[in-house]
Amino acid sequence: MTITCGNFDDLLLEGDTFAMQLAAQHARTCDACAEKFAAWNDISDTAQSLHTEWQTDMLWPRIQRELAVEKRKRFTAAAWRIAAAIILTIGLGGGAWFAVQRSRDAAFDRAILRASALDEVERAEQAHIAAINHLEQVANEKLERSKSPLMVSYKEKLMLLDDAIAECQTNIDRNRQNANLRKQLLAVYSEKQRTLEEVMREGTHASNQ
């Protein structure tokens, strides 16, 4: 195998025993490559001498001490982690329990408020109905006495309104919380109140004549 200066570097790059033998063989025939090869080997020889060993009695005890500290730290850290996990679990559990209790209380409060508001509405309705019934008793006397066609038509209208009230009331009994039905009932009662007032006015006007 012929080695030239051009592929001398390739041998140094390969660096194995065979390549170095070929490089040495070429260096014997070429001064420039011989100088390069000598420096190359000089570096390697010097480098090998840099391997340094020394005895130290202190290093292993130091490492042992540090490892013991590290083990203790690890144990403490693990204990802290477990404690933190327990505290977190208790905290989250307590928080969840508290939230559930609060939402239950709030639902109970809301139900109470709703029921009391409904009672208030019903009380107001009953008072209103009682007042209209009282007015009806007074107006009925006038309706019975008068035979005019106007009073007859008022009488018929009041009968229709009573039917509507009875129907509304039946529906409300089925669904107490339906605000729409209550509004309808109120409208019918208002109409009845207006009609009774008109009856009272007409009755007074007729008696004056």
Partner 1 sequence: MQEATLHGGFSAVHEPVTREDVAETHDDRRTAAACAAGDSLVFEKIYRDHSARMKSIAYNHLGTVADAEDAVQETFLKIHRAASTYTGEASFATWIYRILINTCYDALRKRRRRREEATLDDVPESAERTAPTVDDAKRLTLRKLLDRLPEQRRSVFTLFEIEGLSHAEIASILDITEGNSKWILFSTKKQLQEQWKRK
Q: Binding residues for partner 1, per CB under 8 A?
A: 9, 12-15, 17, 20, 36, 39-40, 42-56, 59-60, 62-64, 66-67, 70-71, 74
Angle between helices 59-145 and 179-208 (to 10 degrees): 20
**Chain centroid to CA 201: how far?**
63
Torsion of CA 57, 52, 16, 4, to 10 degrees: 170
Residue 29 phi, psi dihedral angles, 5° rounding: -105, -5
Is the Cβ of residue 43 or residue 106 nearer to partner 1 in the bound state? Answer: 43
CB 135 within 8 A of CB 200: yes
For the bound state, the minimum distance from the C-beta of residue 79 to partner 1, rounded and expressed in Å, comes to 16
For the bound state, the minimum distance from the C-beta of residue 35 to partner 1, rounded and expressed in Å, comes to 9
Judged by DSSP in three states, 15 sits in coil
For the bound state, the minimum distance from the C-beta of residue 108 to partner 1, rounded and expressed in Å, comes to 53
Judged by DSSP in three states, 1 sits in coil
Is the Cβ of residue 1 or residue 50 nearer to partner 1 in the bound state? Answer: 50
The one-letter amino acid code at 142 reads: K
For the bound state, the minimum distance from the C-beta of residue 42 to partner 1, rounded and expressed in Å, comes to 7
For the bound state, the minimum distance from the C-beta of residue 58 to partner 1, rounded and expressed in Å, comes to 8
Is the Cβ of residue 9 or residue 163 nearer to partner 1 in the bound state? Answer: 9
CB 129 within 8 A of CB 185: no
Is the Cβ of residue 19 or residue 132 nearer to partner 1 in the bound state? Answer: 19
**3-class secondary structure for 77-92?**
HHHHHHHHHHHHHHHH
Is the Cβ of residue 48 or residue 180 nearer to partner 1 in the bound state? Answer: 48
